[in-house]
Structure 1
Amino acid sequence: MSLGNAINTAVSALNAQSQAISIISDNISNSSTVGYKATTASFSSLVTQNYSSSSYASGGVAVTDSRNVGLQGLIESSTISTNLALDGGGFFVVGELGNNGTADIAYTRNGEFSADKDGYLATSSGYVLMGYRVDADGNAIDGDVFTTDDLEAIDVDIVSGLAQASSTVTLSAGLPADAAVGDSVSLDVQFYDSLGVAHSTTLTYTKTGTNEWQMSYGDATDPDDPTSVTGTSSGTTYDLVFDTSGNLSSVSPSPVELTFTGITSGAANVSLTLDIQDSGSLTQYAAQDDEIDIELYSLDVDGARYGRYTSVEIDEDGLVTANFDNGLSLAIYKIPVATFANPNALQALSNNVFLPTVDSGNYILKDAGEGTAGLIRSSSVESSTVDIADEFSRMIIAQQAYSAASKVVTTADDMIDTLMSAIR
């Protein structure tokens, strides 16, 4: 072994430990980076082929970096509801939006998403969360989703408001059995059209015989101005027959449909199903006092006025639901989870995102919780996998190895100087 080989070997050690310190420094600097995966320096020996048993040819050392991308970080709570963490394997699909609206796709464990100025759920570095549109039942609007081409940037402002047209009126009331034939009692019912505008109609019950009544309903009107007609009633009347125990025995025609056309707000025609045929819903008993009137037990009308968007919720299955100030909620997107056969072989980029490589394999989109895909935890983030204590230990070892390697260089230099002195 020559002194030159010894110096070269020591220099390779200095280079390797320098890289190790760089890796440690990178880890420590990212100890608070959401979703960051710690990198480890892996050393391997370099051996120079030696054909003589009487001399030794030194080799050296090489270092490579390895990152355990699949290692689960600690899930910590967050006060931001759109901050997400994956509890299990997989990655969020994110994209950098271009001017043409398309996205350059990448993958990340950093779920620090919040709505930007355009309503997109994005990280602080500008990567937007990708998902697919769903209907009110949470099913993909465009069918099965297999590729990232089926995804779009999640825009929580896509529905700024929501109304729900009324469709069912559930009534529980009692008609006065002691009313005279020809007597009428009435009840006002308020409902909503498809634009969320409120209307009112009057149900009128007229006694036509013993245990027999006829029900009619008037035009739709403005609840604040009963003289202002806002929709035209079909004018259908319904014959009601009660048994001797005061229970409703038959309705003709059936079912009871309250239909209104020509809605002045510009909404669609309204058709309400009046549910009075359940047992005990509409009865006929003696009036409670001297005044002949209908006795209302309960009145429930579905539908809702127009409401503005207030917040968004994301469940563990990745379903994104928008909430509105009228109490309604609407499913708008679903977040898929991308999995890889070998996630540790993904290519790391700045801003804590990854790209697939030949060794990592291609992505597979799954629903959260399906197979190896983790569940999505809202109001949470995944912490860095860096262990500061472990990094300090590695730093001490690298520092000592570097000092020792530098001492070899110094010693070899002294030996060369001694040799040069002997020649002189």
Structure 2
Amino acid sequence: MSLSGALNSAVSALSAQSTALAMISDNIANASTYGYKTVSASFESLLTGTSSSTYSSGGVAVSTVQNISMQGLLTSSTTSTNMAIDGSGFFVVTDGTDSSNTSYTRNGAFTVNESGYLTNGDAYLQGWPTDAEGSVTSGTTASALESINTTAVSSIAAATTELSMQANLPAEAATNATFTSEVEIYDSLGTSAKTTVTWEKTGENTWTASFSNPTSTDGTSTLGTVTSDPITISFNEDGTLASISPSPPTLTIANWTTGAADSSVSLDMGTAGTVTGLSQLSSSAETLSVSLETEQDGVSFGSLTGISISDGTVYASYDNGTSRAIYKVAVATFNNPDGLTAEGSGVYSASTESGGATLNVAGTNGAGTVVGSKLEASTADTSTEFSNMMSAQQAYSAAAQVMSAANKMYDTLITAVR
């Protein structure tokens, strides 16, 4: 009967619009929630059958559309450990440091908890440990993931292993003339020491460089023993470097009194045929000297002072002015991210619809880049939601009017029967 069908359609409309209003309410409530993705109502008509002479109404059904893959605007944050994904993918999180219960989120409001881990509420951010240069050390597999512990490298110290030298040895110096230069180096414990380089002209266009035993920076105590031989340096007639022996030149130090490991320092004195390192040119100075400039990779002892994020890499900063990479943030991508199951608090779990997660280093294999000191804003737009709310309200009121009209028609029919 068409009249009862009209009532059924009106009831389905009331139910559908109520569901749509609930979604709109959620979106408005989360307009300021970082990483929140809107949900929207998808309406579908229901038909029970029609013919040229009759019409049977079916009404309407509503389903939920998850807009999880929608990109939100990136906003600045004053917290250095906050981060956002620009592009596809999700942060990988667990509910504990040793938990295998893996979930995914776009909310990058991570901070360092009392144990040193990067967390967002009860969610622990996952990543891969790296060496100081930022290269992953144990592979980018799921089994290699760890909860990111910012205190994993709480202090830093590194021995000098490479030392580049740039200086001009005065061409007009007499044979057997000597000059000295001081060089700062570090042992494996981060202890600063100094060694003196003695430059001696041994003949035409020929010099030697010998290193003294390292001492404390104030020169009061000897800290180790130089075990390498003096280095022979030859120059071309135009003052460019000709050859160095032994090649490559190396400074080796043993018996550190600090308890440090023996040192082997690779010396970069320049390239043959150039003056990029050592040269032998005439000096216009009244008093001849050798002014040595050096660069070395040693680091003094330093304690952890802060954590920052850059290009998906977690960096630790130390009070000696240095920083180093400690983790790569893992980014998970899905074939159908809109098929993920919402778990609350901006966290999602994989489902049969989403497919399994593919783990990536940020910015590779289609994964988005991870930006530090940023947060992804909610995708809810209040103007759009208010417009949707008014549409839902009007449709709900209209369906209620249909029920009222059908009720009056039933009353008319019953009166006519009586």
Q: Same fold (TM over 0.5)?
A: yes
- 1-side partners of 2:283 and 2:366: how far apart? 66
Please provide the CA RMSD for this pair.
3.1
Matches within 5 A, 1:178-217: 178-179=173-174, 181=176, 184-206=178-200, 214-217=208-211
Unaligned runs of 5+ in 2: none
Name 1:265's counterpart in structure 2.
258
1:129 matches 2:125 = yes
Change in CA separation of 1:24 and 1:240 when aligned onto 2, cut-off 3 Å: closer
Q: Which deviations, in whole Å up to 9, do the C-alpha atoms of 1:274-312 show, x marking residues without a partner?
A: 44465441537579446xx63325344442212233344
Equivalent residue of 1:106, what SS? strand
Matches within 5 A, 1:86-105: 86-97=85-96, 101-105=98-102
**From 370, 389, 396, the counterpart of 1:395:** 389
Change in CA separation of 1:230 and 1:68 when aligned onto 2, cut-off 3 Å: same
Name 1:29's counterpart in structure 2.
29
Pairwise CA distance, 1:371: 4.2
Q: Which deviations, in whole Å up to 9, do the C-alpha atoms of 1:104-132 show, x marking residues without a partner?
A: 21111222222222222222x32122111
Q: Which deviations, in whole Å up to 9, do the C-alpha atoms of 1:45-74 show, x marking residues without a partner?
A: 333357x87765443322211122222222
Structure 1 contact 93–130 (Cα < 8 Å) conserved = yes
Counterpart amino acid of 2:398?
Answer: A
Name 2:299's counterpart in structure 1.
304
Change in CA separation of 1:59 and 1:305 when aligned onto 2, cut-off 3 Å: same
- 1-side partners of 2:45 and 2:239: how far apart? 97
Q: Which moved more, 1:109-118 or 1:31-40?
A: 109-118
Pairwise CA distance, 1:256: 3.7
- 2-side partners of 1:252 and 1:355: how far apart? 63
Equivalent residue of 1:230, what SS? coil
Change in CA separation of 1:294 and 1:73 when aligned onto 2, cut-off 3 Å: same
- 1-side partners of 2:409 and 2:224: how far apart? 106
Name 2:224's counterpart in structure 1.
231
- 2-side partners of 1:174 and 1:207: how far apart? 9
Name 2:362's counterpart in structure 1.
368
Counterpart amino acid of 2:225?
Answer: T
Name 1:63's counterpart in structure 2.
62
Matches within 5 A, 1:212-361: 214-224=208-218, 226-234=219-227, 236-239=229-232, 251-276=244-269, 278=271, 279-280=274-275, 281-283=278-280, 288-289=285-286, 294-316=289-311, 318-361=312-355
Structure 1 contact 42–66 (Cα < 8 Å) conserved = yes
Pairwise CA distance, 1:165: 1.4
Change in CA separation of 1:35 and 1:208 when aligned onto 2, cut-off 3 Å: closer
Q: Which moved more, 1:23-32 or 1:108-117?
A: 108-117
- 2-side partners of 1:276 and 1:359: how far apart? 61
Unaligned runs of 5+ in 1: none
Pairwise CA distance, 1:216: 3.3
TM-score, with structure 1 as normaliser = 0.85
Q: Which deviations, in whole Å up to 9, do the C-alpha atoms of 1:309-341 show, x marking residues without a partner?
A: 33444333x233333343433222222322211
- 2-side partners of 1:7 and 1:338: how far apart? 48
Structure 1 contact 113–121 (Cα < 8 Å) conserved = yes
Structure 1 contact 44–62 (Cα < 8 Å) conserved = yes
Structure 2 contact 49–55 (Cα < 8 Å) conserved = no
Change in CA separation of 1:364 and 1:239 when aligned onto 2, cut-off 3 Å: closer
> Percent same amino acid at aligned positions?
43
Matches within 5 A, 1:394-413: 394-413=388-407
Counterpart amino acid of 2:68?
Answer: V
Pairwise CA distance, 1:402: 1.9
Name 1:108's counterpart in structure 2.
105
1:16 matches 2:16 = yes
Change in CA separation of 1:48 and 1:198 when aligned onto 2, cut-off 3 Å: same
- 2-side partners of 1:68 and 1:89: how far apart? 13
Pairwise CA distance, 1:197: 0.4
Counterpart amino acid of 1:401?
Answer: A
Counterpart amino acid of 2:31?
Answer: S
Equivalent residue of 2:280, what SS? strand
1:78 matches 2:77 = yes
Change in CA separation of 1:212 and 1:415 when aligned onto 2, cut-off 3 Å: closer
Counterpart amino acid of 2:119?
Answer: A
Counterpart amino acid of 1:261?
Answer: A
- 1-side partners of 2:212 and 2:296: how far apart? 17
Change in CA separation of 1:386 and 1:251 when aligned onto 2, cut-off 3 Å: closer
1:141 matches 2:109 = no
Structure 1 contact 169–272 (Cα < 8 Å) conserved = no
Equivalent residue of 2:259, what SS? coil
Pairwise CA distance, 1:93: 1.4
Change in CA separation of 1:122 and 1:206 when aligned onto 2, cut-off 3 Å: same
Q: Which moved more, 1:155-164 or 1:303-312?
A: 303-312
Q: Which deviations, in whole Å up to 9, do the C-alpha atoms of 1:172-202 show, x marking residues without a partner?
A: 1435855575x64433322111111011222
- 2-side partners of 1:232 and 1:355: how far apart? 60
Change in CA separation of 1:139 and 1:216 when aligned onto 2, cut-off 3 Å: closer
Change in CA separation of 1:213 and 1:400 when aligned onto 2, cut-off 3 Å: closer
Name 2:115's counterpart in structure 1.
118
- 2-side partners of 1:407 and 1:284: how far apart? 101
- 2-side partners of 1:106 and 1:241: how far apart? 64
Number of corresponding residues:
413
